[in-house]
Amino acid sequence: MNNLISDLQKEKLINTFGEYLIENAPLAKFSSARLGGYADFMLTAHSAFYLEKMVTFLWEEEIPFHILGGGSNILISDAGVRQLVILNKAKKLAFNEDDQELPTVWAESGTNFGSLARQAAQKGFSGLEWAAGIPGTLGGAIFGNAGAHGKDMSNNLKLAEVLQLEEGRKLWSVNQMGFTYRNSTLKTESGKYIVLSATLNLEPGKPEEIQEKMEEYLQFRRRTQPPGASMGSMFKNPAGDHAGRLIEVAGLKGSRIGDAQISELHANFFINHGEAKAQDVYQLIQLAQEKVKDQFDVLLELEIQLFGDWK
């Protein structure tokens, strides 16, 4: 697929989406790190139905695009992306509360994952306590196999409705997802699969106990993770170790370039203090990778996704 949108493709986009198509859309406000330039075009999908229609059209016309969920696991370049960005706001959600079966929740992929976990807790459904405080959407959480406190999406996913390049919509079971630590087939073959919706397994539980567990997890986050604009964990933990520990021992805790800083509290969190550039964060990423490689012979692998061009 071509990396730039041609004049002919632009014309097709304008004719097809009319007033719904935003040109030169600023992206920083859609990223938790508050960083990044403009997308050539943006569309907002308010339902899984429209998400499917948009993606199918873009694939047919070979127009390059990115899906943006909550923007909480991406770094967008200062120059932005010369592509189209679909902002996923498809948020329909329904619980299966039939007491003859174990409870489940079905939700469109733009549903806020933390809010979904809270709603399950309020209903007395257990299983998503670990998700307390994880920002972003259900689709983003499936893409990256989000997890915390020893659990991840692979523990809950029952089925996902996935739109496949050239093959249309398919139901994927958890085994088809290729889930490993912060990874999935969607991530290793990025761009070929889009999550439209998913069904998660839950269990009956006691609302007070579920809420208590979630509060405990939230308090742990407040103690161990810095507040402020970030992307969460920058790097995956290498086998048997922690990226934050390696960066800290390499002496980089608190390192700063411009307004971007490796957190003093948790060295795997990179903070935008307000006026940082994405390039500042990128230089910190390279610095951490170089120092950790030199000192420990470990290559830190990014957990986040990079949008746009980097050098």
Q: Which residues bind ligand FAD (CB under 6 A)?
A: 32, 66-74, 88, 109, 134-137, 139-141, 143-144, 146-148, 186, 194-195, 230-232, 305
> Given the complex with ligand FAD, which of 110 and 124 has the nearer CB atom?
110
> Given the complex with ligand FAD, which of 72 and 255 has the nearer CB atom?
72
> Given the complex with ligand FAD, which of 84 and 231 has the nearer CB atom?
231
Report residue 131 CA to chain centroid gap. 13
Closest separation in Å from C-beta 86 to ligand FAD: 9
CA pair distance 293, 170, nearest whole angstrom: 41
Closest separation in Å from C-beta 32 to ligand FAD: 4
Question: CB of 104 within 8 A of CB of 200?
Answer: yes
Closest separation in Å from C-beta 271 to ligand FAD: 10
The residues annotated with a catalytic role in the active site are: 182, 233, 303
Closest separation in Å from C-beta 100 to ligand FAD: 31
Backbone angles phi, psi at 173, to 5 degrees: -85, 170
CA pair distance 219, 223, nearest whole angstrom: 6
Closest separation in Å from C-beta 189 to ligand FAD: 11
CA pair distance 276, 33, nearest whole angstrom: 9
SS3 at position 104: strand
Question: CB of 162 within 8 A of CB of 169?
Answer: yes
CA pair distance 215, 131, nearest whole angstrom: 11
> Given the complex with ligand FAD, which of 68 and 291 has the nearer CB atom?
68
> Given the complex with ligand FAD, which of 27 and 288 has the nearer CB atom?
27
Q: For the beta carbon of residue 113, count every other beta carbon within 10 angstroms.
A: 26
Closest separation in Å from C-beta 185 to ligand FAD: 11
Residue ranges in the chain assigned as alpha helix (H)? 7-17, 48-60, 113-122, 138-143, 185-188, 207-224, 243-249, 278-296
- Residue located via tokens 């020893």: 150
> Given the complex with ligand FAD, which of 137 and 289 has the nearer CB atom?
137
Q: For the beta carbon of residue 124, count every other beta carbon within 10 angstroms.
A: 18
Q: For the beta carbon of residue 239, count every other beta carbon within 10 angstroms.
A: 7
CA pair distance 71, 92, nearest whole angstrom: 19
CA pair distance 276, 28, nearest whole angstrom: 11
